[in-house]
Each structure stands twice: as C-alpha cells, then as structure tokens.
Amino acid sequence: MTSTLSALLSALELGHLDHTGDLRTLEAPPPAEAMEQTVSAVWSDLFALFPFSALERDIEDLGWGLVNLFHRAAAKKHQMIDRLTDEIRLLLAEQDGSEVATADLEDKIDLARKIEQSAEAYETMRDTAARHYLHETGRSWVPASGNRISLGTTAAIVDGRSYLQARRERVRDANMVHGTPVIFAGGRLRFASDDDAKQFADNLLRTLNAVRERVGDMYLVHGGDMKGIERLAASWAEQNGIQQLRFGLDRKLGDRAGFRRNEQMLSVKPRYVIAFQGNGVTERLVIEAKARGIHVVDRRGPLGTPPASRPCG
C-alpha cells in the first residue's frame, strides 16, 4: 500500500472529530488519476491472493466491504458539510457587516469547500473500487442502505448565498435521474443446469439491449433485490453507464410492501415494463402496467422467453 493511500485511509475517522479543528489547514486532495491508480493497484495485489485458496469464497464479501470503506468515508464528510451549511445559514441571518462576522463566514465557507473536496476524493476512490468489484464479481456494487451518488466537481464558491444555493442544487441533481424510465422486474430463480442459467442470462441481456436500442436515454427502475435477477439487470446498467432508480421494500408494511413498491415504480410513468418470472407481486405489476396502457416486454416464459400463447377454446 502506498503512502498516499495510507494517508487517506488514516483520515477515515475524521468524522468523529470536531470539524473546526485542524481541517482548516487541509490541502487539496491527491489528483484523481493518482487515486484511481493507487486503488487499482491495492485491489489487484489484494485479490490476487484469493483465487485457488480457502479465501476465494470470501472475495465478494471482502470486495463489497472495501468499496463500502470509501463510501462511508464520503458519507461522513457530507454529514460534516450539512452541519457547516446550517452554521453558514445562521451566520448569513446574523450578518451585521462587521469585519469579524465577515471573516467568520468566509472561514466557514472555505472549510466547507475543503471538506467537500475530500468527499469527492473518497467518492472517486469508491467508484474506482466499485468498477473493480463489478469486474471481479460480475455484480454491481450497491450500498446496504441509501443512495450511491457523486456530487462531482463544480466551480469555486464565491459567497455564502451562492454556496448554499449551489449545494442545494447539486444535492438535488445528484439525487435525480434523467431520461426515460424503464421498469425491470423479476424474482429469485433456480436453474436445473449451468446451461439453463447461461441461456436465461443471455435472454435477459438480449432483452435489455433491445429495449435500450428503442429508448436511448433510458434509466432503469427496479426493486434493488441484489440476490435475484434484478442484480443482473443492475450490473448490466452499470456496465453500460445507465442510471438506476431503486425502490426498496418498506418492511413495515408487511405483505403490502411489494404492492406499495409497484405503485411507486409505476408512478414514474415508465415507457416499458420488462417482466421476467417472479411472484404474485410481479404478476400484479404486469396487470397494473397493462391497465395503464404501459407496454410490457413479457419474458415470463421458460428461461426468459416470451410466454407461450394460450390455445383458444
């Protein structure tokens, strides 16, 4: 592990410290290219140890945890920024034009900008590690809760009101998806053989690619089940640079949770619903979509094929 990454990792617990302390002296983060190369090197060296050993079965769990390390670090920074944003808002309300008040406001803004740079650095490392996770496991990295977003880099902030407005707009934009929604739905399936599993996966990917050809600006709406076939669709979306909108189950609703999620997904007014084999909740989603005039790409037949037409009579 290089000294650069070691220094960054040692800062992961900064979220537990008073944000008015030594953070004022922070310099700019390392260059993005250096961070990406270092994380790639660490990942390559670490996971080269695992194949053909007793640790091989742990690759997915350990890989997820490594990505999550950077994700949590970025989240801590954003929590600090949120607290500073409240302080900036208060200082603006109490601004009396004095030199002391102005200097205090400028210090808070400068500190918030520096912490935001740190958050973006951790997001860069997280996204680099997430790409390696996808390559290593074939699965998209998804946090245990919340969203996986990146605020990205913007122009310098020049004053308090501009900073607050820019942050509100950037957080809003980062939490938005843009384009035409397409719902993907399906359950957890078992296959009689590896050949059947491969044929199903081929049919699934062929279907997604065909829909994307029709809807060039699509974003994928799904339930976020990372143990079922939705995970295959999520990985396809990430590999193809397609945004995802994930609706998790509200466990407090009990048996009603799946049907409530259907309502939420349909509320985004999708162009298509892609349906593979699932349970009664998936069946209800298809019925509701057709009732609303939404085109259903029905792949609930054997191994992800269109269901056979029922004979008349």
User: Is 6 inside any structural domain?
Assistant: no
Q: Coil, helix or strand for 132?
A: helix
User: Is 79 inside any structural domain?
Assistant: yes
Whether residues 235 and 170 fall in one domain: no
Whether residues 194 and 246 fall in one domain: yes
Question: In this predicted structure, what is the pLDDT of residue 199?
Answer: 94
Whether residues 63 and 107 fall in one domain: yes
Residue the block writes with tokens 């699509």: 218
Phi/psi of residue 275, each to 5°? -120, 125
| Total residue length of the chain | 313
Cα dist from 111 to 84, 87, 244, whole Å? 8, 12, 32
Contacts of 195-200 with C-beta under 8 Å, sequence gap 24+, read 196/303, 199/303, 199/304, 200/229, 200/303, 200/304
Which of 175, 200, 234 represents a domain boundary (last residue)? 175
- Domain of 65 in residue numbering reads as 21-175
pLDDT: is 147 or 132 the higher one?
Answer: 132
User: Is 222 inside any structural domain?
Assistant: yes
Whether residues 153 and 28 fall in one domain: yes
Min mean pLDDT across 17-31, 156-170, 289-303 is at 156-170
Whether residues 186 and 153 fall in one domain: no
- Count structural domains, the chain: 2
Min mean pLDDT across 72-86, 179-193, 254-268, 299-313 is at 299-313
Which of 157, 175, 193 represents a domain boundary (last residue)? 175
Across the chain, mean pLDDT equals 81
